[in-house]
Amino acid sequence: MRLPGRPAALICTLLMLVVPVLAITYGWMDGNRHPNVGVWGIRADGEVQQLCSGTLISPTVFLTAGHCAYYVEQVLGTNRAEVTFDATFSQSAAFHAGTIHVHPNFSSIRGPDPADIAVIVFDEPVVGITPAALPPVGFLDQKFREEKLKNHLFTAAGYGAMAQFQHGAPGFAASADRRYVVSEFLALTGGWLHVSENPATDNGGTCYGDSGGPTFFGAGADETPYVVATTSKGDSMYRASDVRYRVDTPTAHEFLAQYVTLP
């Protein structure tokens, strides 16, 4: 497809105005720590324009955010996407082409369970990368009942802009690198996992550039391969709570079961 003018700037501006595309704040360079985490976009004027993040969950399926995919389909007018798992996004990266599928019940990112989930199904299997694992239905609910979520840490990964704070207000610096960050549990509600992104308590979070990236259960030596949520939205100052869409709900599982084998 061809977009008029400067497509990269146009897409970035439209996404920032219309959908909460998010990225890592207060995080670290990922390197090859999470090789199954990738970044995707659409091809315009011969180049792939970086949009959102996601996770390989089978050799042919890439998990991402519904609001990113819905916007690309409905506003930009295409269901085709390209994904790279290189640690740094560039036009020379190895790209994998695929087709976007958005949860049919997606409507907005508000409400108790907005079905903010989508997948990209690749034309050809991705080789040489071990997919992440998905949790069973109610995984986080069970952990909550067992009182195992209090003070529990989660690891998020993704690509995108870095938040920069001047005089207490957030600004953003463009980046194409994969980063990761650790956040502490706050609450569990409906389709949402709430975690802290307060730097005063050694927590990090997400900000512009990284919607759809995974949240892994655990951190450091205790990090697991389970993707329990995807990046969705946060507070406007990026210093309090970070809200991620759960993938262990019946809504998510009913959709994902069409594309992958679930536990």
Distance CA 164, CA 142 (A): 37
**pLDDT interval class at 14 (50, 70, 90):** very low
**pLDDT interval class at 103 (50, 70, 90):** very high
Average pLDDT, the chain: 84
Encode pLDDT of 158-172 as tens digits: 986 665 555 455 555
What size, in residues, is the chain? Answer: 263
Q: What is the pTM of this model?
A: 0.87
Distance CA 102, CA 75 (A): 14
Q: Is 55 exposed, middle or buried (0-12, 13-18, 19+ CB in 10 A)?
A: buried
The separation between CA 118 and the C-alpha centre of its own chain, rounded to angstroms, equals 10
Say what the pLDDT of residue 18 is: 36
Encode pLDDT of 64-76 as tens digits: 999 999 999 999 9
- Provide the strand spans (E) within the chain: 23-25, 28-29, 37-44, 47-58, 61-64, 80-84, 95-102, 118-122, 153-159, 162-166, 169-173, 178-189, 192-196, 205-207, 214-217, 227-234, 241-246
Encode pLDDT of 169-211 as tens digits: 555 555 689 999 899 999 999 999 999 877 666 777 666 667 8
Q: Is 208 exposed, middle or buried (0-12, 13-18, 19+ CB in 10 A)?
A: buried
Encode pLDDT of 38-48 as tens digits: 999 999 989 99
Distance CA 206, CA 66 (A): 17
Distance CA 27, CA 12 (A): 22
Say what the pLDDT of residue 25 is: 58
Average pLDDT, integer, range 55-72: 96
